[in-house]
Structure 1
Amino acid sequence: MKLPDRFRLPSVFGVQVLLVVVFAVLWNPLDFFIYRLGGQVVGDGARLYLEQQAAHWFTYTPFAAVLFEPLSWVPLVPARVLWELVSVGAFAVACRQFVPWRWVVPGLMLEPVWHSLFLGQINLLLLALVAIDFRRVAAGKPAGIGIGIAAAVKLTPGIFVVLLLAAGRVRAAVVAGVTFGAATLGAWIVAPEASLVYWRDTFYDSTRVGVPYVSNQSPYGALTRLLGDVGSWYHVLPAVLSAVGIAVAVRYARRDDWLGAFAVAGLTGLLVSPISWSHHWVWALPALAVLWRDGYRRAFLATGAVLALSPMWATQFVDHPNDVWVLLPVRNAYLLLGLALLTHFAVRTAKRSGTAEAVPERVLATRDAR
């Protein structure tokens, strides 16, 4: 019996969700477990940052740890299942802000997405918060709370506040900033000692994680793998990348193309952060929507292929991969993809500069397509 076309995609999605549930029952995702342990000790002095959780450092903000505390109120296995289902739902919500829901099924097969689920990461929830806010900005509605919460959990989304300011959306930027401040202050009241240690010592300390690990697809990670020691000169590179990225994102924003602005700012955040694990590259996914919307099918397919195949992981099976120069592009595949996409968007906006272009309908066209 042949399944009707309208049921095929929902059926595949149902199988995907079932697999996620089975995985959550059988496996204890590492990052989720660290979140849970962090939530348990958030109010216990400075243990959150002075002691490892599950043999790893807790690297998120005290506010994040406060949010994670309820995870310990639920038995471990149900908590895992609930967390993973919420993550899948958040990814679907993020997609639906700008693209048809049918994109969710292939999207779950991209490495940054399934790797986030494998680790029990919070990336997909943060992506949804920011995507909802940018959808509201595109519709001319009040926005900023989601971005502020995301930045209070993990500092990297703060780049979207910079974009809002630079694009003249001061009210949304102020709302995001006030939300960030309120969340941070609330966490300080709940966990003053942990907050003091974090903001005084921990938040800029990249030595607490394995910077050279191949999963770190930032320029800093690539240079550390290649050179070993990266000097103080490196700070010039993220400064230049952030200036270029924000300038390009603002060009999109001034055309009321907030999907393009969202995509470019997300890429910029990945390129300027010293740590951009492969699962952080969910912030590159909006670029896929922009490429498809603007008719760049080859670029869309190439980007999707890199994010699906994640070729850098194959170099883990090669002895001394840094000595094999031909493998360097493979070993830094996401980084090169990010740089190529930023260059593409910069060139496209430069070519269209000085031309009037009404784009609000185009911004929403991808989502409303059937």
Structure 2
Amino acid sequence: MAKLVFGIQVALVVVFAVLWNPLDFFIYRLGGQVVGDGARLYLEQQAAHWFTYTPFAAVLFEPLSFVPLVPARVLWELASVGAFVVACRQWVPRRYVPWAVAGGLMLEPVWHSLFLGQVNLILLAVVAVDFRRLATGRSAGIGIGIAAAIKLTPGIFIVLLLAAGRVRPAVIAGVTFVAATGAAWLVAPDASLVYWRDTFYDSSRVGVPYVSNQSPFGALTRVLDDVGAWYYVIPLMLLVFGVFVGYARREDFLAVFAVAGLTGLLVSPISWSHHWVWALPALVVLVRDGHRTLAIAATTVLTLSPMWATRLVDHPNDLWYLLPIRNAYLLVGLVLLVALCPGVLPGHSARVRTPRRSLQEARQ
């Protein structure tokens, strides 16, 4: 049954890719076209939108411009679905993968990533494979470094690796990030200079108050309009707490992955709803450890995505009782991060599973 549902979903994705031009993918493709043309990549808008990724990402997107648009869209969307399958294979026992994939594609962060042609699912798979290599004692870190060089937020995994005492893969990831960034600088020096000097920290290029931004910064901006420098205390505290939880769960690689994903979402000033694919490993950890009620509640929120309904209300920021709905993903993220802390939920401990045992179970 799950395979039949998945087959239907893939068919719908292909039809969608043929008929619709996903905005973010279109911007990726346009960014790849101008990556070697001075600083145009960041000084001129692409399709009336700014290119906000790294120069290394633009270099990787350049081959997309050599493929006709419709075939490129289809290949990209199928690659994203395939990446999601790969990611699920790293987290759940093999016999449950079809159900995890079919169910996961119904979650708003996942289908929204496909709707926009986002790179999220591909990055999720790259990092998940790296963590699985780490769990089996193999060399790891290159995938994490590449993901961070494409989209800076996966850099949080390097921090959590250090917190878990995994210095070697953290160093490999860091070196990979520097090497990829350096390679992009050689290809596009002008664009790289503008990005690293002026652009990467500039949140004014995106609509921070937009309800899709489910970060603490987005929530406060919707309420206060102007958030002062005092705000930086909040992500710092969340980072410290995430590092603490990651260290406490250091013997459980899937839990460390989940903690890093949640921490990245909560620390970043921009966490669009489609970025919340990084919260999915936390749901797997909760189910694995027997906390299905909380997992079902969080999954329900990620499926219904109730914050979108508040756009139908005039001046929703003026209605205090809509605040929990307007910031539903943010609240879920905070609850999940606290729930992953050892001792908060029965059965959680710093040594829930040894890495090799977890992997052996996933292969059954």
Q: Which of the residues 219, 233, 247 maps onto 2:216?
A: 219
Check 1:314–1:355 CA distance in 2 against 1; reply closer, same or farther (3 A cut). Answer: closer
Does residue 48 of structure 2 align to residue 52 of structure 1?
no
Distance 2:127 2:107 in 1: 20
Distance 1:329 1:70 in 2: 43
Q: Which of the residues 152, 164, 169 maps onto 1:167?
A: 164
Check 1:74–1:356 CA distance in 2 against 1; reply closer, same or farther (3 A cut). Answer: closer
- Displacement of 1:349 in angstroms is 6.5
Count how many residue pairs are aligned between Structure 1 and Structure 2: 360
Q: Which of the residues 180, 188, 199 maps onto 2:196?
A: 199
Query: Letter of the aligned partner of 2:27 in structure 1?
Result: I
Distance 1:333 1:314 in 2: 11
Q: Which of the residues 83, 87, 90 maps onto 2:76?
A: 83
Contact 1:289–1:366 (8 Å) recurs in 2: no
Residue by residue over 1:8-56, the C-alpha shift from the partner in whole angstroms, topping out at 9 and shown as x without a partner, is 2211111100000000000000000000000000000000000000000
What does residue 97 of structure 2 align with? 101
Identity %: 73
Distance 1:366 1:282 in 2: 23
More off after superposition, 176-185 vs 354-363: 354-363
What does residue 328 of structure 2 align with? 333
Check 1:365–1:225 CA distance in 2 against 1; reply closer, same or farther (3 A cut). Answer: farther
Q: Secondary structure at the match of 1:105?
A: helix
> Aligned-pair RMSD on alpha carbons?
1.6
Does residue 111 of structure 2 align to residue 114 of structure 1?
yes
Structure 2 residues not aligned, in runs of 5+: none
Residue by residue over 1:183-224, the C-alpha shift from the partner in whole angstroms, topping out at 9 and shown as x without a partner, is 000000000000000000000000000000000000000000
Check 1:366–1:272 CA distance in 2 against 1; reply closer, same or farther (3 A cut). Answer: farther
Q: How does 1:2-13 map to 2 (within 5 A)?
A: 8-13=1-6
* TM-score normalised per structure 1: 0.94
Check 1:96–1:355 CA distance in 2 against 1; reply closer, same or farther (3 A cut). Answer: closer
Check 1:356–1:63 CA distance in 2 against 1; reply closer, same or farther (3 A cut). Answer: closer
Distance 1:354 1:310 in 2: 31
Contact 1:108–1:114 (8 Å) recurs in 2: yes
What does residue 147 of structure 1 align with? 144
Query: Letter of the aligned partner of 2:191 in structure 1?
Result: A
More off after superposition, 317-326 vs 19-28: 317-326
Structure 1 residues not aligned, in runs of 5+: 1-7
Q: Secondary structure at the match of 2:343?
A: helix
Distance 2:44 2:199 in 1: 12
Does residue 129 of structure 2 align to residue 132 of structure 1?
yes
Q: Which of the residues 308, 315, 326 maps onto 2:303?
A: 308
Query: Letter of the aligned partner of 2:298 in structure 1?
Result: T
Does residue 269 of structure 2 align to residue 274 of structure 1?
yes
What does residue 289 of structure 1 align with? 284
